[in-house]
């Protein structure tokens, strides 16, 4: 890798797919920008996630790699389910499935939204995560209504860590329902936490918190190499385990 004339961001060497600079070299403004370039190969993406780095860039930009400080995470035991969301979970007019429509979920997440987000998922990004999905590392959690996909999310799983990438909703609480199912299932499997990348009030309402980047990296060192669930996922939760897991 070569420097761009300052301590960061670094220009990545296309031939060195598993090497990244230390995340402590990331810029403070814009927060977390660490490196530029490279590719979205399976090897590079897995190496990035294991180090607390993820790609995020817009159409027409080179690939940008980020590791923000602080980092947003959700400890599985800290999930907050509001009264209204609990009511939505108890309804019987939806179904949650895992890994049955990964490409559709990514395409829906890529559509422009009122908040201006979503368009960062380029065709290059979509194809990269499809490759991860086919290898059993990337997963979708989907909310269905009348056999129509109405919400969901996708992300990457390494060991006992899940790295959330994006979510969408075409019906009230549809993405939140998928998120609750994800968290409950991960807890049942003995996973540690969900990486939410950057904090938002929406994530905070579900129990996400901000922690120092260095602590997040320490968690990665502990949990990302532990035995996990590679391959297609299946949900084996009962409604009671989802709505009232400790009753």
Report the range out of 51-60, 95-104, 109-118 with the highest average pLDDT: 95-104
Written as six digits, the tokens of 218 are: 């320490």
pLDDT, mean of residues 120-134 = 95
pLDDT, mean of residues 207-219 = 98
The per-residue pLDDT for 120 is: 78
Q: Which CATH number fits domain 2-69: 3.40.50.720, 1.20.58.740, 3.40.605.10, 3.30.70.3550?
A: 3.30.70.3550
pLDDT, mean of residues 3-26 = 82
The per-residue pLDDT for 230 is: 87
What is the domain partition of the chain in residue ranges? 2-69, 72-243
What's the rounded Cα separation, in Å, for the pair 189 and 179? 15
Q: Which CATH number fits domain 72-243: 3.40.630.70, 3.30.870.10, 1.25.60.10, 3.90.1200.10?
A: 3.40.630.70
What's the rounded Cα separation, in Å, for the pair 190 and 228? 9
Residue 70 reports pLDDT greater than 60? yes
What band does 40 get if pLDDT is binned at 50, 70 and 90? Answer: very high
The per-residue pLDDT for 116 is: 54
Q: Do domains 2-69 and 72-243 have the same CATH topology?
A: no
**Other beta carbons within 10 Å of 236:** 10
Decide which of 3 and 219 is more confident. 219
The per-residue pLDDT for 29 is: 95
Residue 37 reports pLDDT greater than 90? yes
What band does 119 get if pLDDT is binned at 50, 70 and 90? Answer: low
pLDDT, mean of residues 196-224 = 96
**Lowest mean per-residue pLDDT among 30-44, 110-124, 126-140, 143-157:** 110-124
**Over the stretch 92-108, which tens digit does the pLDDT of each residue have?**
899 999 999 999 999 99
What's the rounded Cα separation, in Å, for the pair 183 and 187? 6
Residue 2 reports pLDDT greater than 50? no
Residue 1 reports pLDDT greater than 50? no
Residue 5 reports pLDDT greater than 60? no
Instruction: Please tell me the pTM assigned to this model.
Output: 0.93
Residue 62 reports pLDDT greater than 50? yes
Question: Can you say whether residue 94 is alpha, beta or left, with left for phi > 0 and alpha for psi between -120 and 50 degrees?
Answer: beta
pLDDT, mean of residues 145-165 = 97
What's the rounded Cα separation, in Å, for the pair 60 and 112? 16
Please state, for a pLDDT cut of 90, what percent of the chain lies above it: 85
């Amino acid at each position: 890798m070569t420097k761009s004339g300052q301590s960061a961001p670094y220009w990545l060497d296309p031939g060195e797919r598993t090497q990244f600079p230390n995340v402590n070299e990331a810029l403070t403004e814009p927060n977390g920008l660490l490196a530029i370039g490279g590719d979205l190969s399976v090897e590079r993406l897995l190496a990035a996630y294991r180090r607390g780095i993820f790609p995020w860039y817009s159409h027409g930009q080179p690939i940008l790699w980020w590791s923000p400080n602080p980092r947003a995470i959700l400890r599985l035991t800290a999930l907050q389910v509001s009264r209204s969301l609990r009511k939505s979970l108890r309804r019987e007019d939806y179904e949650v499935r895992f890994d049955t429509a990964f490409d559709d979920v990514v395409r829906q997440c890529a559509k422009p939204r009122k908040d201006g987000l979503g368009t960062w998922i380029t065709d290059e990004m979509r194809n990269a995560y499809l490759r991860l999905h086919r290898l059993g590392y990337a997963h979708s959690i989907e909310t269905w209504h009348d056999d129509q996909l109405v919400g969901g999310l996708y992300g990457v799983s390494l060991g006992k860590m899940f790295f959330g990438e994006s979510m969408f909703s075409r019906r009230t609480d549809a993405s939140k329902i998928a998120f609750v199912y994800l968290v409950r299932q991960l807890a049942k499997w003995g996973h540690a936490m969900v990486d939410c990348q950057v904090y938002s009030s929406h994530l905070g309402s579900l129990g996400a918190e901000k922690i120092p980047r260095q602590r997040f990296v320490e968690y990665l060192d502990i949990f990302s190499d532990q035995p996990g669930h590679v391959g297609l996922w299946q949900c084996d939760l009962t409604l009671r385990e989802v709505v009232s897991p400790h009753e």
